[in-house]
Amino acid sequence: MGLWKSNFEANIQYINPPLKQCESRICMGDALIVAAGPSIKNDESKKLELLRGFKGTIYATDGILPEMVKRNIRPDYVCSVDSDPIIADFYGKIGNTHALLAVTVHPDVREKMPWADIQWFMPEIDDINEEGSMTNRALEMGIPVLKAFGNVGACLYNIATWMHNHKRIGLVGFDYSYPSLDFNLTQYYHQLMEIAEGDEEKGKSLMLDVYNPITKKHIWTDPVYFAYRNAFLMMFKMKPKSTQRKTWNLTENGILFGGGLKWGKLEEWVGR
């Protein structure tokens, strides 16, 4: 909480304009929300190249931004929620892209973007009724407060569906899983090893084997990614039925299934 607060204080004088809903709610066509799962970051994956043929709006999480910039693919929006200064390393020369930034991101992230290209929001991180609540302070400043649901991908879906009225919304790179069980290469290896008190076999036993009935494959994930997946599905269930019906998971892998979420293929979307 300390880093969130110090980042918030450092960003306050720059928080303008705040994130806003499209007042007209006119349908803006199709949109893709691109996360940094292994199904899209893998060098053998051709999905990033497919984005070149997409004519709609592209939202990107900060983690996938370097791969997109490397291929000269410019998203319309990029989002950051994490308060760690290392997030600034994801940002480079991204051209005509709008940044959707949590007011709690590190100032180094803010400094990577032109002031006019930033729109701000407040993740709901504390109780607005508590004394000194940052969430309540943001509300008093006119900054919209949105649930982040634990990870930037889910947060960006929440923002995109709140900001704009898209005809269809496709999710790309939302694996929440690993392509293989290389335990020491998993995202939360060190945290799991701490829980396992340094016993690698015990740590490995904390990994989860999830069966995907759509791909008919067993997929490895960890407790953190599994919680992120469940948080996304919880948010999805909270969305209006009209939003649910127009949302498709185009990842073609991973554990984000169930709850009425439809699956499809990115190639078919881009080709239409």
Render pLDDT for 150-175 as a digit per residue (tens, 0 to 9). 899 999 999 999 989 999 999 999 99
Q: Would you say 181 and 207 are in contact if contact means Cβ atoms under 8 Å apart?
A: yes
Alpha-carbon distance of 94 to 20, in angstroms, equals: 22
CB 77 within 8 A of CB 100: yes
Residue ranges for the chain with pLDDT beneath 50: 24
pLDDT at 116: 62
What is the predicted pLDDT for the residue at 37? 93
pTM over 0.85: yes
Q: Tell me the torsion sign for CA atoms 67, 73, 14, 132.
A: negative
pLDDT at 131: 87
Closest residue by Cα to residue 248 from 271, 266, 270: 266
Q: Residue 219 CA to chain centroid, in angstroms?
A: 21
